[in-house]
A = this chain, B = another copy of it.
Amino acid sequence: MLEKIIFLGTGAGMPTKERNVASLAVIFNGGGEFWLFDCGEGTQQQIHRTGLRLSKLKNIFISHLHGDHLFGLPGLLATRGLQGIKSSINIFGPVGLENYLKNCFDYSRTHIPYPYHIHQIEKEKFLAKRLLWKKDDYSVFCAILNHQADSFGYAIFEKNIKRNLLVKKLSELGIKPGPIYQTIKEKNQVTLEDGRILKTENFVKESINSVRICYCSDTMFSKNAVILSRDADLLIHEATFSSQEKVEAEQSFHSTIEDAIKVARSAKAKKLILTHISPRYHRSTKNSKIWNTFHEEANSQFPGIILAEDFLEIKI
């Protein structure tokens, strides 16, 4: 089960006192497994400041190969080895990722003592949204966004089957509410005290809950981001600039708060979290007016919108 997310780095371009560079942890099953989205320099140090352990890290998704999303990856993978972890890991990202890692490991003579599988995404192979990976109840889709470098958005889809008991039908058979109801829900077949055998499928109605998290960074406004995050329970979208810096945002292929909100609205996303914030808007910058303007804009216009901070935790 998707449990929560923790923002490990929410700044753009370079680390500051206030925000580290990009990384997001998505945590499953009471911390039994987690995934990373982007891995800027210092991500492993940020992980130390949470309760997460690298032994539980199973998948890493790199949006694009700019340094503020990438430069923490070789060190994190090396540390995972030095910690004696033997379990394998998947790493997804644009073409070039494999050679980048190979070079880092070759020059630094780093040996990775566990299997790591690099899945490079070729942008030519799809138009908008594509299934990237699937295991058990989880599917990850990706879509090419709109940035200077090939940049991918990712969406996690959780198939969560819920069983609702057909209470009326059970009552008609004289089976009264009690612990037996939970047993029927959990098992495929139940033998009652009087010897009768019930097949669960005849006494439940199954419904599928889909929890979707969508992560889009870095990009300017992108129709693919809308397609990818359609009906998402949670959209995490970059908002490097305030809407006043529209021109600068376009020049650098980044989004303004307005762009992020436009994606969320068009996709009918239920919740929007803004991340990848330019250092100019940090709280600790000298010009607090700039911060206030950004903060005010971020906190309006979309219900339940959140401006991310490092170590912000959101339950799913």
A113 at the interface (CB under 8 A from B): no
Q: Which residues of B contact A110 (CB under 8 A)?
A: 66-67
B17 touches A71 (CB 8 A): no
Overall SS of chain A's interface: loop
Interface centre among A21, A66, A79 (most CB of B within 10 A): A79
Residue with the greatest number of chain B CB neighbours at <10 A, chosen from A75, A96, A110: A75
- A291 to B38: give the CA distance in the assembly, Å: 35
Q: Which of B17, B104, B148 contacts A100 (CB 8 A)?
A: B104
Residue A13 CB within 8 A of the other chain:
yes
Which residues on B sit within 8 Å (CB–CB) of A45? 15, 20, 41-42, 45
Once the chains bind, are B67 and A71 in contact (CB under 8 Å)? no
Number of A interface residues at 8 Å Cβ cutoff, please give it: 39
Q: Give min CB distance, A206 to chain B, whole Å.
A: 45
Q: Does A65 contact B (CB under 8 A)?
A: yes
A228, CB-defined interface residue at 8 Å: no
A48 at the interface (CB under 8 A from B): yes
A132 CB within 8 Å of chain B: no
B-chain residues with CB within 8 Å of residue A65 when the two chains form the complex: 107-109
Evaluate contact between A109 and B148: CB separation under 8 angstroms: yes
Tell me the nearest residue of chain B to A149, going by C-beta.
B109
Question: In the complex the two chains form, what is the Cα distance from A45 to B103 in whole Å?
Answer: 24
Q: Is A83's CB within 8 Å of the partner chain B?
A: yes
- The proximity string for A residues 74-108 relative to B, scoring 1 for CB distances below 8 Å and 0 otherwise, is 11001100110000000000001101100110011
Closest to A73 in B: B71
Contact B44 A13 (CB under 8 A): no
Is A70 an interface residue, CB under 8 A from the partner? yes
> Which of B15, B67, B82 lies in contact with A48, CB distance below 8 A?
B15
A-B CB proximity, top 9 nearest: A100-B107, A103-B103, A14-B79, A41-B75, A67-B108, A71-B75, A42-B42, A14-B82, A17-B48
